[in-house]
Structure 1
């Protein structure tokens, strides 16, 4: 007979990536975890995991079970959290995904502070610039800029993030200062390409009208930090979030350009599934992160 506890243990094994990590976390022995997974495979009459000395990987059957079982486990957790929400206690687990710029600026520290405030809350933080499918991958919350429309998600605006055009003083001494957006056509521009495509059309505002300038350059990357580093080493002109280059502007490593024309401003959102009713701990975390952004607003705009 298939035991539901074994199925949920299987989900935890996959999430942790190894028997030993999960055994340590649950204060169990490796052999107990292994025996329970073997018991589940025997009950289902199918192999779920490929086991090697270095890692675990899912079979096709394991992948299918994990997808459904993770949703069932989340539904059970949601039910428990809903009941818990009626009391004063704040406890449970929150899986959060955030972009690297926000994580490095303030979110990693803010989430650690949140865990200190609420010792019965466990937060699993994933830092990635990839547009994570929070429904398929089982996240409770995502922090995103430029929220993409999705009917299955709810988004709460936390703050706005201004982007600026900037370059190093040495680059400008050598190549000249652009005074209007079209002057960028004569400059080496550093282009952010997200998953193979990206904004080589830079947004500006001239005489109250938005306009795009299709810039050119020899440096393309999906890393905003790499663009900042390239700009700081005199390679070209960048269009970046102010939060990423605030310290560089303060130190003089980078200089802001075309301030009267820049028009790129993206909202920073807390995003969660519609099916995931925000309980007390999730609401508290969102408020905590909003306060953390507001305390750093000089970095953002």
Structure 2
């Protein structure tokens, strides 16, 4: 039967990415760490890691064990924190995943500043628009722009992100300016496609009721900045997060349209597993990110 201490050691090895870092952290020798991982593999009768001179990679069995054991390890840490006061220390590693727009506008800089303030905190940052399974993939924190429905996660609102319809002065010079959402049927709309098929609709509030107006256009993309660039180039009308085009509107590269009909807003949240309460470093980081968004609220509202 596998020893619990060896499983916890395995979680530490995966988190740190090397035997030597774990050996140094736990005041062990490299050979002891290696032998205990080998003993764990022998006890479980599976290979957990692919070893090379440069890095460690998980096997499928190793990934399954890590995902389950990491949650147990966090629960043990929470129990220790409750009685030892360790949670008052701001140290350790935080694995974060976040989308491109938020990272570019606010979060890359804010996380760098946070690391300068707390020199014993390590951050592993993955920037992707893919909605990750933060529990299975081992993330401590995810920043998401969405309507959240997953009850297995705890979410803290950081800010609301307003969307706007916009086009360039060049495009509007050649086409009549839309004064009503129905006018968009006569325009080339730049369509955001992300894991969806079928007809495309933009939501508008018309006479107090929500209406989905079907639109069409020549350019579709799963990348919002690609649509922004196409709008600036005068190709068509775009429906984008205000934060993404705030500076373009300020300098006149884009003009907002149909403002009285647009009410689309999406919350930006800090999300972490319900299986644990956030320790002090995670709480401080989430609060710091909320403040960073607040400092740039003009971009989002």
Please identify runs of 4+ aligned residues in structure 1 that moved more than 6 A.
28-33, 52-55
Q: Greater shift after overlay, 28-37 or 289-298? A: 28-37
Written as runs of structure 1 = structure 2, the 5 A alignment for 1:231-270 is: 231-270=231-270
Q: Greater shift after overlay, 160-169 or 25-34? A: 25-34
Is structure 2 residue 273 aligned with structure 1 residue 283?
Answer: no
Written as runs of structure 1 = structure 2, the 5 A alignment for 1:55-74 is: 57-74=57-74
Is structure 2 residue 172 aligned with structure 1 residue 172?
Answer: yes
Deviation at 1:251, TM superposition (A): 2.0
Q: What is the aligned-residue RMSD (CA, Å)?
A: 2.9
1:224 counterpart residue number: 224
2:188 counterpart residue number: 188
Q: Is the 8 A contact 2:81 2:87 kept in 1?
A: no
1:124 counterpart residue number: 124
Q: Is the 8 A contact 1:74 1:138 kept in 2?
A: no
Q: Relative to 1, partners in 2 of residues 1:60 and 1:117: Cα closer, same or farther, differing over 3 Å?
A: closer
2:76 counterpart residue number: 76
Written as runs of structure 1 = structure 2, the 5 A alignment for 1:91-106 is: 91-106=91-106
Q: Distance in 1 between matches of 2:84 and 2:138?
A: 20
Deviation at 1:153, TM superposition (A): 1.8
Q: Distance in 1 between matches of 2:148 and 2:298?
A: 25
Q: Distance in 2 between matches of 1:141 and 1:82?
A: 21
Q: Is the 8 A contact 2:205 2:262 kept in 1?
A: yes
Deviation at 1:101, TM superposition (A): 0.8
Deviation digits for residues 223-242 of structure 1 (CA, Å, limit 9, x no counterpart): 11121122122222110101
Q: Distance in 1 between matches of 2:33 and 2:95?
A: 23
Tell me how many residue pairs correspond in the alignment: 298
Q: Relative to 1, partners in 2 of residues 1:222 and 1:15: Cα closer, same or farther, differing over 3 Å?
A: farther
Q: Relative to 1, partners in 2 of residues 1:4 and 1:187: Cα closer, same or farther, differing over 3 Å?
A: same
Deviation at 1:54, TM superposition (A): 8.1
Deviation digits for residues 189-227 of structure 1 (CA, Å, limit 9, x no counterpart): 111122234882111112222211111123222211121
TM-score normalised per structure 2? 0.85
Q: Distance in 2 between matches of 1:222 and 1:280?
A: 36
Q: Distance in 1 between matches of 2:87 and 2:57?
A: 40
Q: Greater shift after overlay, 138-147 or 190-199? A: 190-199
Q: Distance in 2 between matches of 1:24 and 1:87?
A: 22
Deviation digits for residues 62-92 of structure 1 (CA, Å, limit 9, x no counterpart): 3332332222233333334444657643233
Written as runs of structure 1 = structure 2, the 5 A alignment for 1:132-143 is: 132-143=132-143
- Unpaired stretches in structure 1, ≥5 consecutive residues: none
Q: Distance in 2 between matches of 1:82 and 1:199?
A: 53
Deviation digits for residues 234-290 of structure 1 (CA, Å, limit 9, x no counterpart): 222110101111111122222111111111111222222222213322222221111
Deviation at 1:12, TM superposition (A): 4.9
